[in-house]
Structure 1
Amino acid sequence: MGRNKQPIELVIANGKKHLTKDEINFRRDSEVKPITDDIRAPSYLTAKQKKQFNEIASKLIKLKIMSETDVDALARYIISNDLYLNAVKQLRKKEVQKDVDTLSKWSNLQDKFFKQCRTCASDLGLTISSRCKLVIPEINKEAPKKNKFKKFEKVTAG
């Protein structure tokens, strides 16, 4: 099974210049550009969740990694994060900690919500490891290093 195709800018930034200029231009033209015109928080989110949605969405749009098709994925992340935080609150209550069955139930729910949250976060590029896959390395634009072997070159009179 082959790898997922990387954006052409990432291929060039990594120094893999095995493509011709025509191939590079073709890939640039054929790459899907994210559409960010109409990104709004879904109506099924609470006011607090909508605020969180707008904060995260604006950051992802600035990074150029979110489009209109990612709206539901971000909403699922926010909902699962909310449910996870609620489970954590429940587990901290003394009456829950005293009852083994209730503690077990909330602990299982917390684990499920955490896994959902982590999966959604990874899909959206919100985790460190998923961002590492998205980052385009910056090209160092310093002056080229001097060739240390230049002094050993024989100069021929032409």
Structure 2
Amino acid sequence: MPRTRQPIELIQAKGKKHLTKEEIAERQASELKVDLKNINIPGYLTKKQKEEFQEIASKLLYIGIMTELDEDCLARYIISKHTYLSLTKKLNKKEIKNDIDQLDRIMTLQDKSFKQCRACANDLGLTITSRCKLILPKTPENPKENKFAKFVI
């Protein structure tokens, strides 16, 4: 099964440069370049959700991993998070704990909203493991010393 295609900058940063200059130029030309600045808050979010959208979007823009294509995914994350939290509050009420059918139904909905929330969080880089996959390795600032340089006059 093939792996997902990685940006050429990431491949070069990892040190896997087994590509010719022509292949690198071709890949750079074919990579999609998206405007990072034009983020619009979806109108279907509530006021509280819009504030959370703005807060998370500003953080993701600051680190440079969000584009306008991610607006809907972030909105789905926020909606599923709020749904999960409201269902959790319902489960904590004493009246529901006596009704097994209603308890089962709410727990199923809670599980579905949690899975959707987690999937969106992974897509956006909001989890630790997904951020580790997004971080570019830093190239060493000091080049390696040539051990034979001391013999050159």
**Normalised-by-shorter TM-score class:** 0.7 to 0.9
1:83-98 equivalences under 5 Å are 83-98=83-98
* The structure with more radius of gyration: 1
Q: Report the alpha carbon displacement of residue 19 of structure 1 after superposing the two structures with TM.
A: 1.7
For 2:77, the equivalent position in structure 1 comes to 77
1:25 paired to 2:25: yes
Which whole-Å CA distance do the structure 2 matches of 1:2 and 1:105 have between them? Answer: 39
Which whole-Å CA distance do the structure 2 matches of 1:67 and 1:114 have between them? Answer: 24
Which whole-Å CA distance do the structure 1 matches of 2:69 and 2:141 have between them? Answer: 36
Which whole-Å CA distance do the structure 1 matches of 2:143 and 2:3 have between them? Answer: 35
Which whole-Å CA distance do the structure 1 matches of 2:63 and 2:34 have between them? Answer: 11
Gaps of 5+ in 1: none
Which whole-Å CA distance do the structure 1 matches of 2:98 and 2:33 have between them? Answer: 54
Gaps of 5+ in 2: none
Q: Report the alpha carbon displacement of residue 47 of structure 1 after superposing the two structures with TM.
A: 0.5
Q: Report the alpha carbon displacement of residue 85 of structure 1 after superposing the two structures with TM.
A: 0.5
- Cα deviations by residue, 1:22-47 (Å, 9 ceiling, x for unpaired): 33233223211222232111110001
Runs of 4+ in 1 over 6 A off after TM superposition: none
Which whole-Å CA distance do the structure 1 matches of 2:143 and 2:4 have between them? Answer: 34
Which whole-Å CA distance do the structure 2 matches of 1:62 and 1:22 have between them? Answer: 32
Query: Given the two structures, how large is their TM-score scaled by the length of structure 2?
Result: 0.86
Identity of aligned residues (%): 54
What is the root-mean-square deviation of aligned Cα atoms in Å? 2.0
1:103 paired to 2:103: yes
Which whole-Å CA distance do the structure 2 matches of 1:75 and 1:57 have between them? Answer: 10
